[in-house]
Amino acid sequence: MNTLILRTIVPLLTGLMVIYSIVVLLAGHNDPGGGFIGGLIAASAFALYGIACGVAPVRRALYFHPVSIAAFGMLLSALSGVISLYKGVPFLTGLWWFPEIAKGVEVPLSTPLMFDIGVWLVVVGSLVTIALALEEKE
Amino acid sequence: MKTISTEGAMLQTATAAVDWYILAPVVIPLVTAAILIIFRRAVGLHPYIALLALAANIYASFELLMKVKLEGPLAMTMGNWLPPFGISFAADLLGAILTLTSSLAVFCVALYGMGDASSRERRFGFYPLILTLLVGVNGSFLTGDIFNLYVWFEVFVISSFGLIVLGGTRKQLDGAVKYCFLSLIATTLFLIATGYLYGLYGTLNMADLSKIVAPLKFEGPLVVVSALYLLAFSMKAAAFPLYFWLPASYHTPKIVVSALFAGLLTKVGAYSLLRTFTITLPVAGDSWLMDVMFYVGVGTAICGALGAIAQTDLRRLFSFLLVASIGFMLIGISIGTETALSATIFYMVHSILIMTALFLIAGVIYEHRGSLDLRSLSGMNKDLPLLSLLFLGLGFVAMGFPPFSGFWPKMILISETIKQEVYLGTFAIIFSSFLSIISLGRAFAFGFWRPLTAGAEDEVAIQAKQLTVYSKLQYVPVLLLMILVTLVGLLPGYLYELSSLGAKGLVDTSSYIAAVFGGAL
């Protein structure tokens, strides 16, 4: 779609949407949100970018091939379950780690978060693949 | 904040690392598939990485089988929850044997794919897809939760969609549409039945269901659920009268892909029937529904074999034989005695190996002759002696001649039908085997014995020029499978011991339930 308004506003909007999708992803453990819904938001951001500016800039912006992104997400999610092997607990048990990055500031990291990031990448990768294939001429 | 005690809901003891053998047959191919997709451009490396992973997978399945044989069923509930809150994985002997067998079959298919899958097809994900298909199949064999079984069904069904259109010709898409449509209906029915089941009993853990359902009468909504499961799984297993989709779609994809499908996919349907009507819904396994399944099995065995003698395309012929073999399994499950079930398990192992081998040998024939049409194939015993010998051998295995693996389960099943006085079953098995002898004998007579037809010499010479070093390599997986089925046939005692122990675990479910619930029974 070749309108000046869209082409001007969409890059900005895409950035905002991706940031928001990450917020939703990180909120996911205790509040509404999570990898799947966050991934949908990010995927629609890239799809919008593709509609406004063409498919090639999206591919350039993503750098990695979307299919590889999805596969990396799958790997991340699978491995998040395997970590529990070293703790002597069953597959996919939630393990938490609270590193102190500054005095009194703890960042809660966990295997569920890793799993969720994996889901986010799978959703982004696979939906962007589909969207770009549909947006591409031919 | 008040701390909530999780003692009743979460596992308090540590899990030993050896228990992870139950997950290895799922996790290894899954992780490998992900790595292969990330490096999707390095297609030259794909077969080697995949074969390495599959070899590791065979090792892990073997260790799992040995462990289950020694110590009884092994279970693990995900996420440290206690069953029925978490999703359980539970390997009994049935699941462990089939996991090992399917891992072996996929290894052979991957080996065959080295020469068969072009680099374009590899880039489109041939190896990752066969690995994810194995993930789905192994997951189905090992899961102890019926909704999780549905999820694994989806995993292998979606992988098979990807594999069936690999190549993308018009004929393939036609076959794919039939296959996809029926798969979707079957899995949807499966999902609906699972929804009902959860609404009725509030749990989907197979061991938990087994405890709840066992004292109930077979009436009301339970009948509906059981009938839906019977319908859904029979569709997936290609049972009479819903088998038409299988011969209509299995001859269209790449030969190596159809070998994979023939070896594994229908068997998962048969396995699910076996699991559902023994452990999960024990009362349904003693009800009139089994009579229905018996007649379905008789119909499948006879119609499959009748279909086979009418075919001229080698792959369609094998597809119908596959349908007939499903009939034997259904007859075995419906009789439901310990002996019949152990014959069924034995037969499933045999069927996975032999069906993969038959379709792979069809691939070798295609490589040498460029056709699978029995009307044009001829004279292969002259220039391809090893192929002739292998085809004859595999034919004997499939027909159920001693001393090969097909003989023992058929013999046990026949003697059991006589003992249980279901002579229709006896008749169906013998008649169907007789017809399969005719159809395979006919294929051998036309393709191998018949002297080379006039005018075919040029074509054979052209085809012979196109052979590469890989064409020789393609014998290897077929030979491997041939050796396996011969070994099973010559030393049936070992597999029979395993399958009868497996059948015992299906009849007496207490060890399975105890394994899932551990100390928390």
- Tens of pLDDT, residues A33-90: 888 999 999 999 999 999 888 889 999 988 999 999 999 999 999 999 888 888 878 8
The residue ranking higher by pLDDT, B480 or B379, is: B480
User: Tell me, what's the pLDDT at A1?
Assistant: 64
Q: Which residues of A touch B20 (CB under 8 A)?
A: 85, 91
What is the number of CB-based contacts under 8 A between chain A and chain B? 68
Q: Do B30 and A71 lie within an 8 Å CB cutoff?
A: no
- Tens of pLDDT, residues A91-108: 888 888 888 888 888 888
- Tens of pLDDT, residues B14-65: 677 778 888 999 999 999 999 999 988 888 889 999 999 999 999 999 999 9
Domain range summary for chain A, segments of one domain joined by +: 4-135
Average pLDDT, chain B: 89
Backbone angles phi, psi at B169, to 5 degrees: -85, 170
Backbone angles phi, psi at A110, to 5 degrees: -155, 165
The predicted model gives B411-421 an average pLDDT of 93
Rounded to a whole number, what is the distance in Å from the CA of A119 to chain B's nearest CA?
Answer: 13
- Tens of pLDDT, residues B466-508: 777 777 788 899 999 999 999 998 988 899 999 999 999 998 8
Residue B354's pLDDT band (cuts 50, 70, 90): very high
Give the bridge partners for A110, in sequence order: A96
CA distances to B39, B166, B272 from B125, rounded to whole Å, are 11, 9, 28
Rounded to a whole number, what is the distance in Å from the CA of A91 to chain B's nearest CA?
Answer: 5
Q: Do B78 and A90 lie within an 8 Å CB cutoff?
A: yes
Q: Which residues of A touch B80 (CB under 8 A)?
A: 84, 89-90, 93-94
Q: Which residues of B touch A66 (CB under 8 A)?
A: none
The predicted model gives B439-446 an average pLDDT of 92
The answer to which of B155-159, B434-438, B459-463, B487-491 has the lowest mean pLDDT is B459-463
Spatial separation of the C-alpha atoms in residues B292 and B290, rounded to whole Å = 5
Which residues are CB-neighbours of B411 under 8 A, at least 6 positions away? none
Q: Do A72 and B14 lie within an 8 Å CB cutoff?
A: no
Whether the per-residue pLDDT at B270 is higher than 60: the answer is yes
- Tens of pLDDT, residues B508-520: 888 898 888 875 4
The answer to which of A118-127, B198-207, B467-476 has the lowest mean pLDDT is B467-476
The residue of chain B with its CA nearest to that of A64 is B38
The predicted model gives B209-222 an average pLDDT of 88
Rounded to a whole number, what is the distance in Å from the CA of B327 to chain A's nearest CA?
Answer: 37
Which residues are CB-neighbours of B409 under 8 A, at least 6 positions away? B328, B343, B344, B346, B347, B350
Q: Which residues of A touch B136 (CB under 8 A)?
A: none
Encoded tokens for A21: 């999708």
User: Tell me, what's the pLDDT at B520?
Assistant: 43
CB B60 within 8 A of CB B74: no
Q: Which residues of A touch B37 (CB under 8 A)?
A: 67-68, 70-71, 74
Domain range summary for chain B, segments of one domain joined by +: 17-520
Spatial separation of the C-alpha atoms in residues B236 and B243, rounded to whole Å = 9
- Tens of pLDDT, residues B7-25: 667 776 767 777 888 899 9
Q: Do A85 and B77 lie within an 8 Å CB cutoff?
A: no
Spatial separation of the C-alpha atoms in residues B259 and B253, rounded to whole Å = 10
Spatial separation of the C-alpha atoms in residues B200 and B221, rounded to whole Å = 8
Q: Tell me the H-state helices in B276-313.
A: 289-309
Rounded to a whole number, what is the distance in Å from the CA of B181 to chain A's nearest CA?
Answer: 21
Instruction: Quickly tell me which residue has 């091939």 as its tokens.
Output: A65
Encoded tokens for A59: 């591919």
Peptide bond into B128 cis (omega under 30): no
The residue of chain A with its CA nearest to that of B77 is A90
The answer to which of A89-93, B197-201, B431-435, B516-520 has the lowest mean pLDDT is B516-520
Among the listed residues B324, B320, B302, B300, the one whose alpha carbon sits nearest the alpha carbon of residue B312: B320
User: Tell me, what's the pLDDT at A36?
Assistant: 93
Q: Which residues of B touch A68 (CB under 8 A)?
A: 37-38, 40
Rounded to a whole number, what is the distance in Å from the CA of A85 to chain B's nearest CA?
Answer: 7
Spatial separation of the C-alpha atoms in residues B243 and B407, rounded to whole Å = 25
User: Tell me, what's the pLDDT at B449?
Assistant: 87
CB B267 within 8 A of CB B190: no
Q: Do A89 and B20 lie within an 8 Å CB cutoff?
A: no
Give the bridge partners for B89, in sequence order: B76, B143
The residue of chain A with its CA nearest to that of B82 is A90
Whether the per-residue pLDDT at B521 is higher than 60: the answer is no
How many CA atoms, within 13 angstroms, populate the side-chain half-sphere of residue A102?
1
Spatial separation of the C-alpha atoms in residues A130 and B367, rounded to whole Å = 35
Which residues are CB-neighbours of B98 under 8 A, at least 6 positions away? B141, B267, B271, B348, B349, B352
Rounded to a whole number, what is the distance in Å from the CA of A71 to chain B's nearest CA?
Answer: 5
Which DSSP letter does residue B277 get? I
Whether the per-residue pLDDT at B454 is higher than 90: the answer is no
